[in-house]
Structure 1
Amino acid sequence: MNQLTGVTFQVRVSNFEEGQKWYETLFNRKADFIPHGNFAEWEVIPNTWLQVSEGVPSIGNGPLRIGVENIKEERLRLMEKLNCTIEEVNTREGVPAAWCTFEDPDGNLIGLFEDLAKTS
């Protein structure tokens, strides 16, 4: 196998304009690349892209988990800005991560995680 150079993950939204605004709020910025109508991309971290496309959402798709420095603060920010419910932050003994999951308006599963090994 050749060396891997990147990752893309695509979610479909039923209304592109609303979906694009939702993901702009999630990432706290505009899309990095809009190659054509009804398709936007964010480079989440170097060479890792989320593509948002208009189409029929795949229910239960994901979760796409996004690493954050402070999961509790980001969870509160997103609940306020996106006016949504996000489950409580989960941890498990022996697992050096905290995580929580929620849905975008089309049912795509999104999650946050915090690397607890970095903070201890």
Structure 2
Amino acid sequence: MIFEMTIQIRVTDIEEGHRWYETLLKKKPELIPHEGFVEWELLPGCWLQVAEGTPSLGSGPLRIAVKDIEAEKVRVMKELDVENFEIFSREEVSAKWGTFIDHWGNQIGFFEYLNKHEQKERIKTVLGLTEE
């Protein structure tokens, strides 16, 4: 049984990485267990670890669901100096998505559900608000 997960992204400067990801995620980290390491719980049991080290170029992307991908794109371009990136959609895919690069070469992205009822149901499931 799988009940939690972590994903680790490496940055060459942990202080800058801490600030960058805190701005991206719009929240302070839950844990700073030791020097060179910062953790955020993105969803219950789903952790993003930012560690000082050599980035794994070409891995990813780590995509995060957002309610408004266009607004988040504008925000990260302004607040984090992210280069302009394209937002894609395909008729057979129920979401639109876009990928950008952090300052260390890690691929990060957003996606937005096109069906807002589906999005609402996913949010309820993640928050544990569905009846079984």
TM-score tier, shorter chain, comes to over 0.9
Alignment pair present for 1:100 and 2:84? no
TM-score (norm. length: structure 2): 0.85
Paired positions, count: 118
What residue ranges of structure 1 are gaps of 5+ in the alignment?
none
How big is each residue's C-alpha offset from its partner over 1:37-90, in whole Å with a ceiling of 9 and x where there is no partner? 110001111111100000011111210000001111111111110011141211
Cα drift, residue 119 of structure 1: 5.5
Question: Higher relative contact order by CA 8 Å / sep ≥ 6: 1 or 2?
Answer: 1
User: Of the candidates 54, 63, 66, which is equivalent to residue 64 of structure 2?
Assistant: 66
CA contact (8 A) 1:86 1:101 kept: no
C-alpha spacing 1:80/1:11, structure 2 compared with 1 (3 Å): same
Structure index of larger Rg:
2
Cα drift, residue 5 of structure 1: 0.5
Q: Give the Cα separation in 1 of the matches to 2:56 and 2:81.
A: 22
Aligned-residue Cα RMSD (Å) equals 1.2
TM-score (norm. length: structure 1): 0.93
What residue ranges of structure 2 are gaps of 5+ in the alignment?
119-132
Q: Give the Cα separation in 2 of the matches to 1:70 and 1:119.
A: 14
User: One-letter code of the match for 1:31?
Assistant: P
1:13 corresponds to which residue? 11
C-alpha spacing 1:86/1:101, structure 2 compared with 1 (3 Å): farther
Task: Give 1:71-90 correspondences, 5 Å limit.
Answer: 71-90=69-88
